[in-house]
Amino acid sequence: MSEIYFAQIREDSRIERRLQASYEARRVLTIGSGGCTAFSLLDDELESLVVVDANPAQCALIELKKAALIALERDDYLAFIGERPAMNRLGTYRELEGSLPYGARAYWRSHQARIASGINGCGVTDRLYNLVGQNLTQLVLGSENVDLLFACSTMDEQRAFFAEHLDNDRWDTAVRVLFSRSTQSHFYPPLWSARSTESKFSEFYATQIKDAIVNKPVADNYFLHQLLTSRYLHDRADGTPAYLSDDGYTTARRNIDKMQVVNSTVNQCLDTVADVEAFYLSNIFDWGSRSQHETVAGKARKASSADGAIVLHRSMYGEGQLAPVFGDQLEIRQELSKELTELERSMLYLEVTVGELGGRRPVGVARQTARLDDS
């Protein structure tokens, strides 16, 4: 069986949810990963949500979270996935097992220890982040200073905190060593770092973490808090993925039947879908060849609705992949893309890009255009 690389998705689903509100996309395709974005997209207006991942282990994870979400109340769900203490996660799993597809059952029967310790921390990336966070918090920063950081209420306070506690060689060296290519080679296959030098990842993360502290509010940045403490900010608005809030959990449960988990490549999945109004593609164009990217783009154009679709892509490298791949048929929303890049809290991406395919427009703009055409 394959490996789970992301028990949680390091992408800020506020971005997808904002696009949903603006464009009212009802038929959506999104990348599976840890499932957080997919569950957070479930709402009463949505018609269908295709969740695609080529990794069967990631699909097994999403299927288990889906079964748990259906069967468990929110507090019990949080305990089962590892966000709160639990007495008997394996006992809970045995109650859920019968509702899982065969592939998911086969995977989890051979990975019982991961269930026992909480599936929200079972991914390769989650284990790397746990190693990084323990070292940064326990050996460099101190847990009391983590609390001080997240008690900051203004940008001036955050910048003063960084200057006092983090603008030094000890912190900088620790971040660079812990996120170096050598460290990551103990967790990921060589292919994942093929485009990177020894210092490229470490420089990237050092810059991204600094930016998250000195240029963006940290009060609700659960990505930064989880990196340092392995915990969400459950007591704060937007301090968890949306589906884990009280209202978000109720909404996700009510609409869970709209979700279809597909174990295939995006390329293969696009042959089976039609009339899609939004493609949320994570950072798939950071990987693979130009010809592979163009094949996906061509199939997405064919699978989009008659009214067009929006395309969202993130990039760790910030190389503007979306426009060249889709060509003239995709109109890049430059200002909106800049706004969403600033909104992204995950510290993982240099660029967030949104494009409109086939004339798709935000709902208000589309209605205004229709009125002008009718006049």
- For the stretch 154-176, pLDDT in tens is 999 999 999 999 999 999 999 99
Cα torsion through 323, 328, 330, 331, rounded to 10: 90
Average pLDDT over residues 316-336: 91
Burial of 76 (0-12, 13-18, 19+ CB in 10 A): middle
Sign of CA dihedral 220, 221, 222, 228: negative
The string of pLDDT tens digits covering residues 204-242 is 999 999 999 999 999 999 999 999 999 999 999 999 999
Burial of 288 (0-12, 13-18, 19+ CB in 10 A): middle
pTM for this prediction: 0.94
Q: Tally the C-alpha atoms within 13 A of residue 157's C-alpha that lie toward its C-beta.
A: 11
CA distance linking residue 234 with residue 241, whole number of Å: 10
CA distance linking residue 8 with residue 341, whole number of Å: 20
CA distance linking residue 199 with residue 134, whole number of Å: 21
Q: What is the mean pLDDT of the chain?
A: 94
